[in-house]
Chain A
Amino acid sequence: MRVGIVHLSVAAIFLFIAAGVFNLQIVQAKKFRDLSDNNCIRLLPQAGSRGRIFDRQGNLIVGNQLSYDAMILPQDRPQIDKTLSAISLALGVDFASLKDRFRKGYVASFVPVTLEKNINFKKAVALGELKSDYANIIIQPRPVRYYPYGNLACHVIGYLNEIDHWRLTKLEDYGYKTKDIVGFGGVEEKYDYYLRQEDGAQSIQVDHRGRFICTLGFRPPVDGKDIRLTLDIRLQRIAEEALGERKGSIIMMDPDTGEILVMASHPAFEPALFINKPAQALSGLSESALVNRAISSAYPPASVFKLVLASAALETGKINLSTSFFCSGSMRIGNREYKCWDVHHAEDLRAAIAHSCDIFFYRTALLLGPQVLHDYAVKFYLSKPTGFDLPYEASGFVPDPLWKKIARFQKWFDGDTANFAIGQGDLLVTPLQMARMVAVFANGGNLVTPYIVKNIAGKDLSGYAEGHLKIAVKKNIINYVRQDLRGVVSEPTGTANVLAGLPVSVAGKTGTAEAGNNKTHGWFVGFFPFNSPKFVICVFLENNGSGHAAATAARQVIEGMIKENLI
């Protein structure tokens, strides 16, 4: 009897134990499986480096340098506070904010939490010494952007920042995630997909003291592809110095290929500031400093547009090379007096271009009519983006009578035609469009597609460029106008005569546009050397410039080039 009781008790205990094992291994299996995985698996990110950017000579414009992130592994929960307070001493960050960052950054017990990004080398060493006492501190080296030329060509390069909501919605399908660092503006944005590195990770197994046992999985980081630009950083420096503190932009382009050699825009920004404190970097910027004025803003072209008008008039036969009009300083169109900026007396086309006589072109435009003007502007691909390979290119605008009727419910007046003729009114162009337009005269009739990326990871992109379009204007017409552009510089009374004394023969056209509030924009577009042009230049000065000032800036650039033997 008693044997039965004891036997039954032992059997009952066995059953109870079996139930306990069942509970742990079947009922709670998942929970304990997770706990076991957390116990021994750690994930170490392995940062790849973003592709570098070089200029056409192979000078490094944007590189990478190592920076250190302070991270903590959330394992050993009871130790965390002690570790955090030690870190706060080493970094000089107060404990409460560290604790807060830890709480917000926590994902899972085996994923390290970043406490402070981009700590300097000294602090990294200080933290490294703590590591012997607090095994869960991780100092993660990470490549960050480094700009050897400071803010030179900053608009071409762009900057890096955490992805914003708008970009994320666009790019999610391409594997971008929140908190990704992506390019904003310039090459960094346009070619982000190529520049972008793929971060790898190593999942390792550790023992109870966090010591390395073995690697479970490893995805090697993939570095981004290097990009080589057509930009010449030496020319870029000369151009930015010529621009100085003035608002505006300078573009230089190879007239035959469309390779952009210089693209300067001012005001500029420091791309390096975005590495550490993006919010501060943004708030410290002067007005619209992030805008690349060479491509993203459109302005009235002023007298520069006269090249289009001259081509149109010659080709349609409304005037010929000997046609001349008399400039008395002003003329009446409709019920308004339209002025020339000077009194030029009798002028033929060559003189009118050299002196930029408004009266001549008013009269010519009235002969042509606004629709023809519009059509020729479109033949020069105004009002369309050039197809340039940087983002946020403005398209500009070319008005016509139908548009005015539809958009403004107004009749087109002759006064509008006169304004159109001298590139004022509703006509808007980007400096890049002007550079492309003048390239047509430089290369004898080809509309090139400007581009700035020469190759990606050694693969040449010129084969992928859209190539040249033959402009729909007769070649001899282009050549007539081309000859006249030389006069602008070479004639003593030419508006760009300031460029005459140079050892290279320059041709071009100035422009001074009314910008409202008694301010003017200054333009100079041109090319040199005249006989076999290698460079197209477009100088644009916003709000406080004149054609003369722009031509002077161009002279400064060319002088700089001569000094550095770059022509």
Chain B
Amino acid sequence: MRNSTFLILFIAVLIVIIGILSIYSSNYQKEGEFWQSIYQRQILWAVLGLALFFIMSNFNYRRLWDFTYILYGSVIFLLFLVFVLGAVRLGAQRWLRVAWFNFQPSEVAKLMIVIFMAKYFSNKSIDDVSLPVERFGILRVLLIPLIFVAIPTLLIVEQPDLGSGILVMTIFVIILFLAGVKLRYFILLFIMAAGSAPVFWHFLKDYQKERLTVFLNPNIDPLGAGYTVIQSKIAIGSGGFFGKGWLLGTQSQLHFLPESHTDFIFATFAEEWGFTGSALLLLLYYLLIRQGISIAQKTSDSFAKLLAFGISFMLGIQVCINIAMNLGFAPVVGIPLPLMSYGGSSIFVTFISLGILANIAKERAVF
């Protein structure tokens, strides 16, 4: 299936180029070498990401099955390292400094959870298409994976990175659902979540609580937490049908919009390219996810199936949450827009995920 590999690559590269153009635009007016070089760094990440894509697309995904627990352990270790270093340095920290690269373990954790869940709910043999859930009881179906997922989730939320934490939990629930877990377990999960919500609320940092309340009404604090949402909506809305034109978006160019090259890259893009651009971008993302889903549907290997579904929906949900956040439909929780937002970790993990998808498509074609 060279066709679907090519399609995934084509769409991904297109989105990355759009992203680099928007990053260039958002920092175009900023002074300082650092800001001016940001788009160049993103090009570097993209090139490295492409390399990772080709490596992963030629790396038999089945070997991920073998490495799952090693992967799980190392990600937990990295998250723990972030936690400890954060505590030592008395400040919030989401990344580890590796040579010249700030590495975000929480990005890898998202993919790791997908791989872990896919392995947990599939059989070792490629030929065994039966669903393991049928044989499991409540303990093995719900509680054990919940504990496995909860450990990294808590570490991520504690970083603090509420968005990634929520995302990991969402992926967990979706894969449970796709794995065929009985609906009554979901009801149980829901009751557990509802019961523990007040406790979680207590553990949230003040600014995280504020973001959640401000989401309900951004106008209560137009200069604080709601400012970003208001400016983002102004940026998107003022783009109109055709947009203000590349490098001409006043909201992002003049720094009204914070985080214009990371979490709010969509607003930057939408301001300059208008509804036509936004609609096209949404279509591209949707086609990318569609492509992942169709790869999943065509494979007979239950691990590959869950992995491909997991990756597709992981991407889809990130896109949805991020754009919803830009539109003011979701609280500002710090989830990057895959392939567009500035940041090496996100780009790498996304390209690795897409590489796995491509490999699944390729391996299936072998049979």
A68-112, CB under 8 A of B: which get 1 and which 0? 000000000010000000000000000000000000000000000
Is residue B254 within 8 Å, beta carbon to beta carbon, of the partner chain?
yes
Is residue B45 within 8 Å, beta carbon to beta carbon, of the partner chain?
no
Q: Which residues of B contact A6 (CB under 8 A)?
A: 174, 177-178, 309, 313
Query: B324 near A213 (CB under 8 angstroms)?
Result: no
Q: Which residues of B contact A205 (CB under 8 A)?
A: 250, 254
Is residue B190 within 8 Å, beta carbon to beta carbon, of the partner chain?
no
Residues in A184-207 with C-beta less than 8 Å from chain B: 205-207
Tell me which of A10, A21, A25, A26 contacts B289 (CB under 8 A).
A10
Is residue B234 within 8 Å, beta carbon to beta carbon, of the partner chain?
yes
Is residue A562 within 8 Å, beta carbon to beta carbon, of the partner chain?
no
Is residue B222 within 8 Å, beta carbon to beta carbon, of the partner chain?
yes
Query: Nearest residue in A to B239 (C-beta to C-beta)?
Result: A25
Query: A24 near B327 (CB under 8 angstroms)?
Result: yes
Chain B nearest CB, measured from A7 CB (Å):
6
Query: Nearest residue in B to A1 (C-beta to C-beta)?
Result: B180
Tell me the bound Cα distance from A29 to B174 in angstroms.
Answer: 36
Q: Which residues of B contact A17 (CB under 8 A)?
A: 282, 320, 323-324, 327, 329
Q: Which residues of A contact B296 (CB under 8 A)?
A: 3
Tell me which of B236, B256, B270, B275 contacts A207 (CB under 8 A).
B256
Query: B237 near A28 (CB under 8 angstroms)?
Result: yes
Q: Which residues of B contact A387 (CB under 8 A)?
A: none
Query: B180 near A2 (CB under 8 angstroms)?
Result: yes
Tell me the bound Cα distance from A557 to B331 in angstroms.
Answer: 87
Tell me the bound Cα distance from A25 to B238 in angstroms.
Answer: 7
With A2-B178, A3-B293, A6-B313 as known contacts, state yes or no: A14 contacts B286, CB within 8 Å.
yes
Is residue A118 within 8 Å, beta carbon to beta carbon, of the partner chain?
no
With A6-B177, A39-B251 as known contacts, state yes or no: A33 contacts B256, CB within 8 Å.
no
Query: A14 near B320 (CB under 8 angstroms)?
Result: yes
Is residue B316 within 8 Å, beta carbon to beta carbon, of the partner chain?
yes
Tell me the bound Cα distance from A24 to B236 in angstroms.
Answer: 7
Q: Which residues of A contact B40 (CB under 8 A)?
A: none
How many Cβ-Cβ contacts under 8 Å join chain A to chain B?
116
Query: Nearest residue in B to A25 (C-beta to C-beta)?
Result: B275
Query: B234 near A39 (CB under 8 angstroms)?
Result: yes
Tell me the bound Cα distance from A205 to B255 in angstroms.
Answer: 12
Tell me which of B231, B236, B251, B317 contacts A21 (CB under 8 A).
B236
Q: Which residues of B contact A18 (CB under 8 A)?
A: 279, 282
Q: Which residues of A contact B254 (CB under 8 A)?
A: 39-40, 205-208, 213
Query: B174 near A25 (CB under 8 angstroms)?
Result: no
Query: A39 near B282 (CB under 8 angstroms)?
Result: no
Query: A39 near B250 (CB under 8 angstroms)?
Result: yes
Chain B nearest CB, measured from A30 CB (Å):
8
Query: Nearest residue in B to A79 (C-beta to C-beta)?
Result: B223
Interface SS of chain A: helix
Query: B270 near A21 (CB under 8 angstroms)?
Result: yes
Interface SS of chain B: helix
Is residue A217 within 8 Å, beta carbon to beta carbon, of the partner chain?
no
Q: Which residues of A contact B236 (CB under 8 A)?
A: 21, 24-25, 32
Chain B nearest CB, measured from A34 CB (Å):
8
Is residue B29 within 8 Å, beta carbon to beta carbon, of the partner chain?
yes
Query: B178 near A25 (CB under 8 angstroms)?
Result: no
Query: A29 near B240 (CB under 8 angstroms)?
Result: yes
Query: Nearest residue in A to B317 (C-beta to C-beta)?
Result: A10
Tally B residues with Cβ within 8 Å of A: 44
Is residue B77 within 8 Å, beta carbon to beta carbon, of the partner chain?
no
Tell me the bound Cα distance from A25 to B272 in angstroms.
Answer: 11
Q: Which residues of B contact A14 (CB under 8 A)?
A: 282, 285-286, 316, 320
Tell me the bound Cα distance from A39 to B238 in angstroms.
Answer: 11
Query: B234 near A25 (CB under 8 angstroms)?
Result: no
Residues in A32-72 with C-beta less than 8 Å from chain B: 32-33, 35-37, 39-40
Query: B274 near A32 (CB under 8 angstroms)?
Result: no
Tell me the bound Cα distance from A22 to B277 in angstroms.
Answer: 11
Query: Nearest residue in B to A77 (C-beta to C-beta)?
Result: B222
Q: Which residues of B contact A207 (CB under 8 A)?
A: 254-256
Q: Which residues of B contact A467 (CB under 8 A)?
A: none
Query: Nearest residue in A to B321 (C-beta to C-beta)?
Result: A13
With A20-B324, A21-B279, A39-B251 as known contacts, state yes or no: A26 contacts B256, CB within 8 Å.
no
Is residue A31 within 8 Å, beta carbon to beta carbon, of the partner chain?
yes
Is residue B69 within 8 Å, beta carbon to beta carbon, of the partner chain?
no
Chain A nearest CB, measured from B235 CB (Å):
7
Q: Which residues of A contact B240 (CB under 8 A)?
A: 25-26, 29, 33
Query: B178 near A3 (CB under 8 angstroms)?
Result: yes
Query: Nearest residue in A to B238 (C-beta to C-beta)?
Result: A36
Is residue A346 within 8 Å, beta carbon to beta carbon, of the partner chain?
no
Tell me the bound Cα distance from A37 to B249 in angstroms.
Answer: 11
Tell me the bound Cα distance from A78 to B221 in angstroms.
Answer: 10
Tell me the bound Cα distance from A36 to B320 in angstroms.
Answer: 25
Sample (8) of A-B pairs whose CB atoms are under 8 Å apart? A17-B324, A18-B279, A20-B329, A25-B239, A36-B250, A39-B256, A206-B254, A208-B256
Binding site for B on A (CB under 8 A): 2-3, 5-7, 10-11, 13-14, 16-18, 20-22, 24-26, 28-29, 31-33, 35-37, 39-40, 78, 205-208, 213
Binding site for A on B (CB under 8 A): 29, 174, 177-178, 180, 222-223, 231, 233-241, 250-251, 254-256, 270-271, 274-275, 278-279, 282, 285-286, 289, 293, 296-297, 309, 313, 316-317, 320, 323-324, 327, 329
Further pairs besides A6-B174, A24-B327: 20, Cβ < 8 Å:
A2-B177, A3-B296, A10-B320, A13-B320, A17-B323, A18-B279, A21-B236, A21-B270, A21-B278, A25-B274, A29-B239, A29-B240, A29-B241, A32-B236, A32-B237, A33-B237, A37-B238, A39-B234, A40-B256, A208-B255
